[in-house]
Amino acid sequence: MSLTAMLQEQFDAGLTTRSDFTIDQPVEQYGAVDHAVWQQLYERQTAMLPGRVCDAFMEGIRALDMDARRVPEFERLNEKLMAATGWQVVAVPGLVPDEVFFDHLANRRFPATWWMRRPDQLDYLQEPDCFHDVFGHVPLLANPVFADFMQAYGKAGTVAQSLGALPLLARLYWYTVEFGLMRDGDGLRIYGAGIVSSRGETDFSLTSREPNRIGFSLERVLRTQYRIDTFQQTYFVIDDFAQLFDAMRADLPALFKAFAEQPSFEANARRPEDTQILLPA
């Protein structure tokens, strides 16, 4: 659904969209089907994530005390999130313009879609819905280091936009916030929201021998294309969230300028300089 169509839908539903694209979460518009879909997805994912997701995610789930049976009310969620890291969740009609998105992140506000997917969309949805945004993203915002990284990313977005480098910075978000893996001793854990909220990719990202798994390199990420129509062909693996925050201290304008003049790598590319992380035999 296009942004224009979503805004029209909000208008038709009697919702007012502010200049920063936020709305009051219309909790009264959630019906029994919405709550049932949330509960089914929540219970399914929390059952399969232990041992597969990073500890910080499960700690965030416990700290925020999300209700498994109902779509969360952002106002109640924010009481715990604000106390933990100073972040808050704001309701939006769907995808928002880049400059709006970055401004929210830079001010420790996470824009979350308010509407829930339909029962026939449990396993695939083209646009992010409330389950993806809230269950997938918000628990890690209770982690201080990850929360600081997200704010730094928002500030970097303004820089990238001024330099015409948004496609490069979008790759960093895609390969970390959405589809990132991290080391856990001799194994791997997931932390990216796109994996956490997907039953299929939760399993694929950790067990399939098809994709590349590469040690995180900011330069490699910025130069790597991605696909939105399939499971990922490359996953970048971090050591910890501090590695992400440290990456935001790089001379991003210089990197943007340098890589704008160089060819990008295909999503499934393997490079001699890559640190390949192999699954156990």
SS3 track for the chain: CCHHHHHHHHHHCCCCCCCCCCECCCHHHCCHHHHHHHHHHHHHHHHHCCCCECHHHHHHHHHHCCCCCCCCCHHHHHHHHHHHHCCEEEEECCCCCHHHHHHHHHCCEEEEECCCCCHHHCCCCCCCCHHHHHHHHHHHHHCHHHHHHHHHHHHHHHHHHHCCCHHHHHHHHHHHHHCCEEEECCEEEECCHHHHCCHHHHHHHHHCCCCEEEECCHHHHHCECCCCCCCCCEEEEECCHHHHHHHCCCCHHHHHHHHHCCCCECCCCCCCCCCECCCCC
Known binding residue 210? Answer is no
In one letter, which amino acid is 130?
C
What pLDDT is attached to residue 281? 77
Annotation-wise, does 137 bind a ligand? yes
How high is the pLDDT of residue 23? 96
* pTM (two decimals): 0.93
pLDDT of 249 = 96
pLDDT for 102: 97
Q: Which two tokens stand for residue 170?
A: 């979008």
Q: Is 178 annotated as a binding residue?
A: yes
The confidence score (pLDDT) of residue 8 equals 43
CATH architecture of 5-261: Orthogonal Bundle (1.10)
The set of residues, in sequence order, having a beta carbon less than 8 Å from that of 93 and lying 6+ positions away, is 3, 6, 7, 9, 10, 15, 17, 21, 23, 113, 114, 115
pLDDT averaged per 10 residues in sequence order, the chain, 281 residues: 46 76 96 97 95 96 95 97 98 93 98 95 86 97 98 96 94 98 92 95 96 97 95 97 97 94 94 94 77
Q: Which DSSP state fits 132?
A: I
Q: For residue range 197-251, list pLDDT tens digits in order.
A: 999 999 999 999 999 999 999 999 999 999 999 999 999 999 999 999 999 999 9
Tokens 């919405």 sit on residue? 34
First to last CA, the chain: 43
Residues 118 and 54: their CA atoms lie apart, in Å, by 28
